[in-house]
Amino acid sequence: MKKLVILCVCLAIVGLFCLDAIAAPAQKQQPPQAQAKPQQFKPKEAKIDRNYDGVVDRIEVYDEKGLILRVEADTNGDGKMDEWVYYEAGIPVKGEKDLNADGKADTAMFYDVKGVIIRTEADTNGDGKIDEWVFYTNGVPSKAEKDTNRDGKADTWVNY
């Protein structure tokens, strides 16, 4: 009986080693699978037809990291780009807009460090001088000033 118990214990120990030996090589023989990162493609430029008329009305330009650098847009549907917004680190910092369709910017847009618009300045009468200022709070117009007599100073004020 004593021999039978010793034999059973020995067989159990050998069985455990055999199971470990059978399972372990299967794991060790397989080459470790490399953590394959999916290929990430970063755009350089995107041209978009937002109103589906067959004409590009928005162009987005990106840096080598894939962050947006500039957006050009046709906001009035005349086929010409009339708004330009410039970005740093993916955040808008400055914008320009052509409101009278002469091909030249007559409105400047300014943004805070978070990319929220804080002010616009515009030449609304085409004389080359800023005559309208709009101030924003949380991206919404809160106050406007206008120079109607062309002396360079506001003479009309509107609070929203």
Q: Structure pTM? A: 0.69
Q: H helices then E strands: how many in the chain?
A: 1, 10
Q: What three-state secondary structure class fits 18?
A: helix
Sequence-distant (≥ 6) Cβ neighbours of residue 132 within 8 angstroms: 120, 121, 122, 123, 124, 144, 145, 146, 147
Task: Give the residue among 59, 66, 70 at the shortest CA–CA distance from 92.
Answer: 70
Structure confidence by residue, pLDDT tens digits, 18-28: 434 444 444 44
The string of pLDDT tens digits covering residues 61-109 is 999 999 999 999 999 999 999 999 999 999 999 999 999 999 899 999 9
- Domain locations along the chain: 45-159
Question: For the chain, where are the alpha helices, taking DSSP H only?
Answer: 2-29
Helix/strand/coil percentages in the chain, nearest 5: 20, 35, 50
